[in-house]
Structure 1
Amino acid sequence: MLVTGHQLKAARALIGMEQTDLAARADLHVNTIRKMEGKGTAEITSGADIVRRVQSALEAAGVEFMNHGRPGVRLRGEDQA
């Protein structure tokens, strides 16, 4: 599950996606993405529906979210598709 601003930023970096592209894919304003990433290590406080839309857009692009004690991200492997 998408939890922190840094986790979101790392997910975008893994796939080389710009904030504007993610905003368009999640049907949000780019400022929403900026504010979410601006949380840094703090928990994202946007509504659950907004977080779900952003996470879904990133997962569709090949990102997998991990929270095994700490928030993390990785590229989804072909065996996990």
Structure 2
Amino acid sequence: MTPIQSKMARVALGWGTRDLAQKASVSPDTIARLERGERLRAGTMETIRATFEAAGIEFIPENGGGAGVRFRKPSESN
């Protein structure tokens, strides 16, 4: 997850930095550091990414078109 992907995911969900921090159980400063491009511990990054994924976000890798995010496609059973 890149800093811009974090920002895009937050906007897609309508979350501010404090919302994400609360849902991921990290400080708002941690979210600010992530989105400034500062290095965070791997476990912290995994927690933040898992929080987004639990909310329905999919991360799109940079594959020639640039990294991005999208909402996960609903499963057939939903």
For normalisation by structure 1, the TM-score amounts to 0.82
Match of 2:17 in 1: 19
Gaps of 5+ in 1: none
Whose relative contact order is higher, 1 or 2, with alpha carbons under 8 Å and at least 6 apart? 1
Runs of 4+ in 1 over 4 A off after TM superposition: none
Match of 2:47 in 1: 53
What is the CA RMSD across the aligned residues, in angstroms? 1.8
Q: CA deviation at 1:25?
A: 1.1
CA deviation profile, 1:8-40 (whole Å, cap 9, x unmatched): 10011111111111111111000000111112x
CA deviation profile, 1:28-68 (whole Å, cap 9, x unmatched): 000000111112xxxx5211100000001111111111114
What is the percentage of aligned positions where both structures have the same residue? Answer: 32
Please state if 1:63 is matched with 2:61: no
For normalisation by structure 2, the TM-score amounts to 0.84
- The one-letter code sitting in structure 2 at the alignment partner of 1:75 is F
Q: State the aligned residue count.
A: 75
1:74 corresponds, among 51, 70, 78, to 70
The structure having more radius of gyration, on CA atoms, is: 2
